[in-house]
């Protein structure tokens, strides 16, 4: 099996993904999380370049390849980590640099990634991604996009309901729809990818609802059991 690299989501730190890493290691995979801290994201705030994240991702992948002798990795990108990974795959200049990561990645699995957004701070980067590398762009790479169908957005009720509604609306232009509490289902999928929907799955490790303290996220063992098959290809 090929090694696995996990890229955290926006403003998330590597330790949030250690339970996912450790569970995959128990299954026999070689797994590393890109060693980001919350402050690693600060230079990217306000829609600025995500080059610092791309640099950390490339360093991690090259290290894993050198240590294992593997020819490629399976890449898991959570939330913004998914579309940032699509930039990494590309062979066109981004902020003056070409990463061409498609030569090192066999499978890209995105977890609750907003592959499109109407939020002005993310438009610059996402417009670049979707214009330059639309859909499942590289035919030799297996794209697997996971969406969670856990919360229906509504502007009524609690603050949590309002937040979910606004998050969906900022992403796809419609707040009254299903999603994982942050990313609506429609935005989490890519044309040409293997697009999957999981019932009652929340967006992130820390997205725990008061009335559903045991609700899983994409990296919970019972959910990983469904998609870890995509990491077994070599």
Nearest CA among 17, 109, 29, 34 for reference residue 68: 29
| Backbone angle region of 28, left / alpha / beta, with phi > 0 → left and psi within -120 to 50 → alpha | left
Return the sign of the alpha-carbon dihedral for residues 32, 227, 77, 14. negative
Instruction: Pick out the chain residues at pLDDT < 50.
Output: 209-211
pLDDT of residue 119: 83
What range does the domain containing 29 cover? 4-231
DSSP letter assigned to residue 200: T
Number of domains observed in the structure of the chain: 1
Q: What is the CATH number of the domain that holds 157?
A: 3.40.50.1820
CA distance 40 to 48: 13
DSSP code per residue over 124-178: HHHHHHHHHS-SS--TTSEEEEEEEE-EE--SSSSHHHHHHHHHHHHHHS-SSSE
pLDDT of residue 210: 45
pLDDT of residue 112: 98
pLDDT of residue 116: 92
pLDDT of residue 230: 97
pLDDT of residue 97: 96
pLDDT of residue 212: 60
Q: Encode pLDDT of 47-97 as tens digits.
A: 999 999 999 999 999 999 999 999 999 999 999 999 999 999 999 999 999
CA distance 161 to 100: 40
């Amino acid at each position: 099996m090929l090694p696995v690299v996990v890229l955290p989501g926006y403003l998330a730190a590597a330790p949030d993904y250690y339970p996912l890493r450790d569970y995959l290691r128990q299954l026999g995979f070689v797994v590393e999380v890109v060693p980001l801290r919350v402050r690693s994201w600060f230079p990217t705030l306000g829609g600025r370049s995500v080059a610092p994240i791309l640099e950390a991702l490339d360093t991690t992948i090259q290290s894993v390849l050198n240590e294992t002798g593997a020819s490629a990795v399976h890449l898991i990108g959570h939330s913004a980590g998914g579309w940032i990974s699509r930039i990494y795959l590309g062979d066109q200049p981004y902020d003056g640099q070409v990463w061409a990561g498609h030569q090192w990645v066999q499978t890209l699995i995105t977890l609750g990634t907003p592959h499109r957004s109407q939020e002005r701070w993310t438009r610059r980067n996402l417009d670049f991604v979707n214009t330059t590398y639309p859909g499942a762009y590289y035919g030799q790479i297996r794209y697997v996009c996971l969406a969670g169908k856990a919360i229906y957005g509504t502007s009524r009720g609690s603050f949590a309901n309002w937040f979910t509604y606004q998050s969906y609306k900022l992403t796809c232009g419609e707040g009254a729809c299903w999603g994982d509490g942050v990313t609506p289902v429609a935005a989490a999928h890519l044309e040409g990818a293997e697009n999957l929907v999981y019932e009652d799955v929340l967006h992130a490790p820390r997205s725990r609802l008061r009335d559903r303290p045991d609700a899983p996220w994409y990296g919970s063992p019972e959910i990983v059991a469904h998609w870890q098959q995509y990491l077994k290809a070599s």
